[in-house]
Structure 1
Amino acid sequence: MHINSRMIKMAAGLALICSASANAELNVFACEPEYAALTLSLAPDAKVYSATTAMQDPHLVQARPSLIAKMRQADLVVCAGADLEIGWLPMLQMKASNNRVRSTDTGLFYAAEHTDTLDKLESVDRSMGDVHAKGNPHLHFDPVRMLEVAQGLSAKLIQLDPDNKAAYTQALSQFSSQWQAKIPQWQQQAQSLKGKKVIAYHSSFRYLFNWTGIEQVADLEPKPGLAPTSSHLATLLARAEKGDVMAIIVASYQDERGAEWLAERANLKVVTLPMSVGGNEQSTDLISLFDSVLSLLNGVK
C-alpha cells in the first residue's frame, strides 16, 4: 500500500507538471514595440519583451547581456525583417544559443515575409547608404499590410502552441474586427492629406505616406543612414522655398537639429511622429498609434 501510495502521488505530480507545461505562457522576444503590441493583441497571456523602444533607432541595437538572456529564454522571436535587424539580430542569436528561434521554420517570425514590401532592390552596395534589398521594413504604418502580418503571426503562435489554437483564433478574430472597424475612420482622416508634400527624415514613414497619398519630396539624409550635411540642407532649403511643402517630418527617435535648422529658415513646422507604440503619450497600442499619427498630420496648419 505504501508503494502504491507513493506511485499515485508521483503520477499526480507528473500530471500537474505536464498540465502546467501544456498551458505554459509563451516567452516572446519582439525586436520592435509595434510587434510586441501586436503579439500581446494576439496572445494576451504571453510574456512579451520588446528589445527596443520607439525612442531608439531599430537599425542600431547593442547585443547587451540582458538582451542575450531574454533571447535565450524565448520560444518565439518576432521582428520586422527585410534586414532591418541585420546589424544586431544574428549576433544575439549566436550568443543566446537558442535553437528554437534561429529559423522561421520554428520560432522565428519576420513580418516582412507575410506581406509585400515597397521599394525592393535587385542589388545593393555600400555606396547607396542604409538601404534594404528586401524592401522598406517599416511596414507597420500600412493598416492593410498589418492585418496580413497579424494573420501570419497568429498562424505561427498556433504552430508553436497548438493546444491553445482556439484562444489564438478568437484573439485574431477580435483584433481583426477592431482593426477593420478603424480603417474606414483612418481613411476618412487621410483624405485631407492626399497630395500634400513633405520633407522627411529617412524613409521611416514610407508606408504611411504611400497609404495616405502624401508625397515625400526630399529626404533630410543625403543618403540613407547619413546625418544631414550643411550642403545638403542648403539644397533642401532651395526646394522648400518653392512653397508647396506642408511640413518637415521626423520620427520620435531621430535627431531634430537638421529639421529645426531647415524649418526656421523655410518657415515650416517640424512634426515629430511616434515611430511606434510608446513614441508619445497617446500611442499606447497599435490603434492609438495610428490615431495619433493621423491627428498630428492633420493638425499641421
Structure 2
Amino acid sequence: KPEWQSLAQTLGGDKIDSFSATTAFQDPHHIEARPSLIVKARHADIIFCTGADLEIGWLPLLLTKSANPLIQSNQPGYFMASDQVELIEKPSRVDRSQGDVHAAGNPHVHWDPYRVLKIAEAFSSRLQTIDSVNSRYYQQRLVDFTSTWQAAINTWESQASTLKNKRVIVYHKNWSYLLNWLQIDVIADLEPKPGVPPSSAHLTSLLELVRGNSDVDSILIANYQNDRGAKWLSKKSGIAVIDLPFAVGGNKNSDDLISLYNDVVLKLKNEL
C-alpha cells in the first residue's frame, strides 16, 4: 500500500527500491494479484503489507504465484505492519451475518501516529536483518525519521486540540485509529454492516437519528469510497461531508506520510 511504500522508502533511503501494489484510489480490501504484480513479487527481497487479513483476498495467491522463497510467511522478507502493534476493535465472535469483519481487529493502523513509530522501528530492524551490510545506514535513517515524526505529532496534536469530542458519522471503520487519537466521537456508520453498501432503509434510519440529534458535526468519507449515500444524507440533513485522502497519493497534497497527515489534520481542523 502507498503508505507503507512511503515509510519503507523513507527508512531505506537510497539502499532500497520500492513499489506499491495498490494506489490510494483503490479499496484496500479488494485488490487483484495481477500478473505484473506477481512479477514484482518474484524479484522482491521483502514484502511490506498491513496484515490482519486486509490482504487475504490476494496476498496468499501472490505469494504462491511468485514462487519467491524470500517473502514467504516464515521468512524475514515477510513483514506485516499489524503484527508489530496492538489492534483495536477485536470482535468477540465472527460470523458471516456480521459482514466483512476483521477477526484479528481493525487493520487500518497507519492512522495512529504512535503505532506508525513502532512499525517504523520494527521495519528498520527487519531491513538491518536482511541487509546487515547497511545496518548503520538504516539505524540513522530511523533516528532521523523518529525525530521528524515526533515533532510532527506535536504539531498535529496542537492543531487538532479543538476537535476533541466532535461527533461524526463515518462510512466505514477505516478512520477508527485517527478518530481515537484525536478524541473525535463516532455516532454511526453509513455501512449497515462492514463491507455492505448503505441501503435506503439504513440511510433513512440515520436521517432519523441525526434529526433527533443536533450535535452531529460532519460525515467523513475516504477518497476511494462511494459518496452517494453520504451526499444523500448531507442533502437531507444539512450536515457537511468531508472527503479525506486515506492513503499517500490520495490527493495532490499527500505525497508522503507526513504530508498525508498534514492534509487530513488541517482539513478536519478547518472543516469539522
Structure 1 and Structure 2 fold alike (TM over 0.5): yes
1:43 aligns with 2:12: yes
Structure 2: which amino acid aligns with 1:128? Q
Aligned-pair Cα RMSD in Å: 0.9
Alignment partner of 2:26 out of 30, 40, 56:
56
What's the offset of the Cα at 1:126?
1.2
The within-5 A match list for 1:187-226 is: 187-226=157-196
Alignment partner of 1:251 out of 222, 232, 245:
222
For the structure 1 residues 235 and 62, does the alpha-carbon distance in structure 2 shift closer, same or farther, using more than 3 Å as the test? Answer: same
What's the offset of the Cα at 1:62?
1.0
* Aligned counterpart, 2:257: 286
What's the offset of the Cα at 1:252?
1.0
* Aligned counterpart, 1:266: 237
What's the offset of the Cα at 1:277?
0.5
1:154 aligns with 2:114: no
1:97 aligns with 2:67: yes
1:176 aligns with 2:142: no
Structure 2: which amino acid aligns with 1:155? S
Alignment partner of 2:200 out of 230, 233, 240:
230
CA–CA distance in 2 between the matches of 1:125 and 1:95?
Answer: 29
CA–CA distance in 1 between the matches of 2:128 and 2:198?
Answer: 45
CA–CA distance in 2 between the matches of 1:262 and 1:88?
Answer: 34
Q: Kindly indicate whether structure 1 or structure 2 has the higher relative contact order, using CA contacts under 8 Å at least 6 residues apart.
A: 2
Match of 1:245, SS state, is: coil
| Structure of higher CA gyration radius | 1
* Aligned counterpart, 1:17: none
What's the offset of the Cα at 1:104?
4.7
What's the offset of the Cα at 1:56?
0.4
Deviations 1:228-266 (A, max 9, x none): 000000011111211111111000100000000000000
Q: Unpaired runs of 5+ in structure 1?
A: 1-31
* Aligned counterpart, 1:69: 39
What's the offset of the Cα at 1:216?
1.0
Match of 2:195, SS state, is: coil
* Aligned counterpart, 1:3: none
Structure 1: which amino acid aligns with 2:8? T
CA–CA distance in 2 between the matches of 1:228 and 1:123?
Answer: 23
Structure 2: which amino acid aligns with 1:287? I
The alignment-based identity, stated in percent, is: 48
CA–CA distance in 2 between the matches of 1:79 and 1:121?
Answer: 22
Match of 1:205, SS state, is: helix
Q: Unpaired runs of 5+ in structure 2?
A: none
* Aligned counterpart, 2:100: 130
* Aligned counterpart, 2:266: 295
Match of 2:115, SS state, is: helix
Structure 2: which amino acid aligns with 1:282? N
* Aligned counterpart, 2:85: 115
